[in-house]
Structure 1
Amino acid sequence: MSSIVEAKDERLQVRLNAEAKTVLQRAANYRHKTVSQFVLTTALAEAEKVIRENEAVTMSAADWKVFYDALNNPPAPNAALRKAFAKYQKSAE
Protein backbone atom coordinates (compact mmCIF):
# COMPACT_ATOMS: atom_id res chain seq x y z
CA MET A 1 0.00 0.00 0.00
CA SER A 2 1.24 3.50 -0.79
CA SER A 3 2.89 5.46 1.98
CA ILE A 4 1.92 8.75 0.32
CA VAL A 5 -0.87 10.57 2.14
CA GLU A 6 -3.77 10.95 -0.26
CA ALA A 7 -7.20 12.49 0.01
CA LYS A 8 -9.73 9.81 0.79
CA ASP A 9 -12.90 10.51 -1.11
CA GLU A 10 -14.20 7.01 -1.82
CA ARG A 11 -16.39 5.08 0.59
CA LEU A 12 -17.14 1.39 0.98
CA GLN A 13 -20.04 0.31 3.15
CA VAL A 14 -20.35 -3.15 4.64
CA ARG A 15 -23.28 -4.55 6.58
CA LEU A 16 -22.35 -7.19 9.13
CA ASN A 17 -23.72 -8.81 12.25
CA ALA A 18 -22.51 -8.04 15.76
CA GLU A 19 -20.43 -11.20 16.01
CA ALA A 20 -18.49 -10.40 12.82
CA LYS A 21 -17.88 -6.85 14.00
CA THR A 22 -16.61 -8.12 17.35
CA VAL A 23 -14.17 -10.47 15.61
CA LEU A 24 -12.89 -7.66 13.39
CA GLN A 25 -12.53 -5.34 16.37
CA ARG A 26 -10.55 -7.94 18.32
CA ALA A 27 -8.22 -8.53 15.38
CA ALA A 28 -7.82 -4.78 14.78
CA ASN A 29 -6.94 -4.29 18.45
CA TYR A 30 -4.14 -6.86 18.17
CA ARG A 31 -2.72 -4.89 15.23
CA HIS A 32 -3.23 -1.55 17.02
CA LYS A 33 -5.47 -0.32 14.20
CA THR A 34 -9.01 0.90 13.83
CA VAL A 35 -11.49 -1.56 12.36
CA SER A 36 -11.51 0.49 9.14
CA GLN A 37 -7.72 0.44 8.90
CA PHE A 38 -7.61 -3.29 9.64
CA VAL A 39 -10.30 -4.16 7.11
CA LEU A 40 -8.76 -1.96 4.42
CA THR A 41 -5.18 -3.21 4.82
CA THR A 42 -6.30 -6.84 5.05
CA ALA A 43 -8.65 -6.56 2.06
CA LEU A 44 -6.00 -4.82 -0.05
CA ALA A 45 -3.40 -7.46 0.78
CA GLU A 46 -5.82 -10.23 -0.19
CA ALA A 47 -6.85 -8.36 -3.35
CA GLU A 48 -3.20 -8.02 -4.42
CA LYS A 49 -2.68 -11.75 -3.76
CA VAL A 50 -5.72 -12.68 -5.88
CA ILE A 51 -4.55 -10.39 -8.69
CA ARG A 52 -1.06 -11.92 -8.63
CA GLU A 53 -2.52 -15.44 -8.69
CA ASN A 54 -4.65 -14.60 -11.72
CA GLU A 55 -2.35 -12.33 -13.69
CA ALA A 56 1.12 -13.75 -13.10
CA VAL A 57 2.33 -16.67 -15.17
CA THR A 58 4.43 -19.25 -13.39
CA MET A 59 6.28 -22.05 -15.11
CA SER A 60 8.49 -24.93 -14.22
CA ALA A 61 12.16 -24.61 -15.15
CA ALA A 62 11.62 -26.96 -18.11
CA ASP A 63 8.59 -24.98 -19.35
CA TRP A 64 10.52 -21.72 -18.96
CA LYS A 65 13.34 -23.09 -21.11
CA VAL A 66 10.92 -24.11 -23.88
CA PHE A 67 9.21 -20.69 -23.70
CA TYR A 68 12.50 -18.80 -23.66
CA ASP A 69 13.88 -20.81 -26.56
CA ALA A 70 10.71 -20.17 -28.59
CA LEU A 71 11.04 -16.43 -27.98
CA ASN A 72 14.70 -16.37 -28.97
CA ASN A 73 14.43 -18.81 -31.87
CA PRO A 74 10.91 -18.50 -33.26
CA PRO A 75 9.97 -20.81 -36.10
CA ALA A 76 9.59 -19.32 -39.58
CA PRO A 77 6.05 -18.18 -40.36
CA ASN A 78 3.97 -20.85 -42.06
CA ALA A 79 1.44 -20.25 -44.84
CA ALA A 80 -1.49 -19.79 -42.45
CA LEU A 81 0.38 -17.15 -40.43
CA ARG A 82 1.48 -15.28 -43.58
CA LYS A 83 -2.13 -15.32 -44.83
CA ALA A 84 -3.47 -14.06 -41.47
CA PHE A 85 -0.88 -11.28 -41.38
CA ALA A 86 -1.73 -10.19 -44.93
CA LYS A 87 -5.44 -10.14 -43.99
CA TYR A 88 -4.65 -8.06 -40.89
CA GLN A 89 -2.56 -5.58 -42.90
CA LYS A 90 -5.36 -5.20 -45.46
CA SER A 91 -7.96 -4.55 -42.72
CA ALA A 92 -5.70 -2.05 -40.93
CA GLU A 93 -5.45 0.22 -43.99
Structure 2
Amino acid sequence: MPRAAGTKDDRLQVRLDAASKSVLQRAASYRHKTVSQFVLATAMEEAEKVIRESEVVTLSSPDWTLFYEALTNPPAPNTALRKAFATYQKTNG
Protein backbone atom coordinates (compact mmCIF):
# COMPACT_ATOMS: atom_id res chain seq x y z
CA MET A 1 0.00 0.00 0.00
CA PRO A 2 1.52 3.40 -0.97
CA ARG A 3 2.35 5.84 1.78
CA ALA A 4 0.44 9.11 2.01
CA ALA A 5 2.38 12.29 1.24
CA GLY A 6 3.74 13.80 4.43
CA THR A 7 3.80 10.51 6.32
CA LYS A 8 6.41 10.64 9.06
CA ASP A 9 8.38 7.43 8.93
CA ASP A 10 11.90 8.56 9.88
CA ARG A 11 13.09 8.91 13.46
CA LEU A 12 15.82 10.95 15.05
CA GLN A 13 16.96 9.96 18.52
CA VAL A 14 18.76 12.32 20.85
CA ARG A 15 20.39 11.51 24.16
CA LEU A 16 20.21 14.29 26.71
CA ASP A 17 20.48 14.85 30.42
CA ALA A 18 17.47 15.33 32.67
CA ALA A 19 18.00 19.09 32.99
CA SER A 20 18.03 19.58 29.20
CA LYS A 21 14.91 17.47 28.81
CA SER A 22 13.17 19.51 31.50
CA VAL A 23 14.03 22.78 29.71
CA LEU A 24 12.72 21.43 26.41
CA GLN A 25 9.51 20.21 28.04
CA ARG A 26 8.99 23.58 29.69
CA ALA A 27 9.60 25.51 26.46
CA ALA A 28 7.35 23.16 24.48
CA SER A 29 4.54 23.66 26.99
CA TYR A 30 4.75 27.44 26.51
CA ARG A 31 4.24 26.90 22.78
CA HIS A 32 1.45 24.36 23.36
CA LYS A 33 3.44 21.69 21.51
CA THR A 34 4.83 18.29 22.30
CA VAL A 35 8.56 18.11 22.90
CA SER A 36 8.97 16.38 19.52
CA GLN A 37 6.99 19.10 17.74
CA PHE A 38 8.93 21.83 19.54
CA VAL A 39 12.35 20.30 18.88
CA LEU A 40 11.55 19.61 15.21
CA ALA A 41 10.15 23.12 14.58
CA THR A 42 13.09 24.79 16.32
CA ALA A 43 15.67 22.60 14.59
CA MET A 44 14.07 23.24 11.18
CA GLU A 45 14.10 27.01 11.73
CA GLU A 46 17.78 26.91 12.64
CA ALA A 47 18.61 24.56 9.75
CA GLU A 48 16.90 26.88 7.26
CA LYS A 49 18.79 29.84 8.73
CA VAL A 50 22.13 28.04 8.38
CA ILE A 51 21.32 27.08 4.79
CA ARG A 52 20.34 30.66 3.92
CA GLU A 53 23.55 31.99 5.48
CA SER A 54 25.58 29.47 3.49
CA GLU A 55 23.82 29.66 0.14
CA VAL A 56 22.49 33.21 -0.24
CA VAL A 57 24.75 36.13 -1.03
CA THR A 58 23.54 39.55 0.03
CA LEU A 59 25.25 42.58 -1.44
CA SER A 60 25.18 46.18 -0.32
CA SER A 61 23.94 48.70 -2.87
CA PRO A 62 27.47 49.78 -3.93
CA ASP A 63 28.61 46.15 -4.18
CA TRP A 64 25.52 45.26 -6.24
CA THR A 65 26.30 48.12 -8.62
CA LEU A 66 29.88 46.87 -9.08
CA PHE A 67 28.69 43.28 -9.56
CA TYR A 68 26.02 44.28 -12.07
CA GLU A 69 28.49 46.45 -13.98
CA ALA A 70 30.97 43.55 -14.20
CA LEU A 71 28.21 41.27 -15.51
CA THR A 72 26.81 43.69 -18.07
CA ASN A 73 30.13 45.17 -19.20
CA PRO A 74 32.82 42.58 -18.56
CA PRO A 75 36.44 43.55 -19.22
CA ALA A 76 38.15 42.15 -22.30
CA PRO A 77 40.01 38.88 -21.71
CA ASN A 78 43.64 39.40 -20.76
CA THR A 79 46.58 37.21 -21.81
CA ALA A 80 46.31 34.91 -18.81
CA LEU A 81 42.60 34.28 -19.42
CA ARG A 82 43.14 33.58 -23.13
CA LYS A 83 45.95 31.15 -22.27
CA ALA A 84 43.80 29.39 -19.65
CA PHE A 85 40.94 29.07 -22.14
CA ALA A 86 43.26 27.61 -24.79
CA THR A 87 44.53 25.06 -22.27
CA TYR A 88 40.95 24.20 -21.33
CA GLN A 89 39.98 23.68 -24.96
CA LYS A 90 42.93 21.34 -25.52
CA THR A 91 42.03 19.16 -22.53
CA ASN A 92 38.23 19.28 -22.77
CA GLY A 93 37.31 20.06 -26.26
Q: Look up the match of 1:64.
A: 64
Cα offset, 1:74, TM superposition? 0.2
Deviations 1:28-72, CA, capped at 9 Å, x for gaps: 111111111110010010011111112211221111100110000
Say if 2:13 is the partner of 1:46.
Answer: no
Q: CA offset at residue 92 of structure 1?
A: 1.0
Q: Which residue of 2 aligns with 1:75?
A: 75
Q: Percent of aligned positions with the same letter in both sequences? A: 71
Counterpart of 1:90 in structure 2 is 90
- Flag structure 2 segments of 5+ consecutive residues without an equivalent: none
Tell me the matched-pair count.
Answer: 90
Distance in 1 of aligned mates of 2:34 and 2:74: 55
CA distance in structure 2 between the aligned counterparts of 1:71 and 1:19, rounded to whole angstroms: 54
Partner residue in 1 for 2:17: 17
Query: TM-score, structure 2 length as denominator?
Result: 0.88
Matched, 1:6 2:6: yes
* Structure 1 alignment gaps of length 5 or more: none
| RMSD of aligned Cα (Å) | 1.5
Q: TM-score, normalised by structure 1?
A: 0.88
The answer for the alignment partner of 2:36 in structure 1 is: 36
CA distance, structure 1, for counterparts of residue 91 and residue 33 of structure 2: 57
Once residues 19 and 36 of structure 1 are traced to their aligned partners in structure 2, the CA distance between those partners, rounded to angstroms, is 16
**Matched residue type, 1:74:** P
* Separation (CA, whole Å) in 2 of partners of 1:72 and 1:14: 51
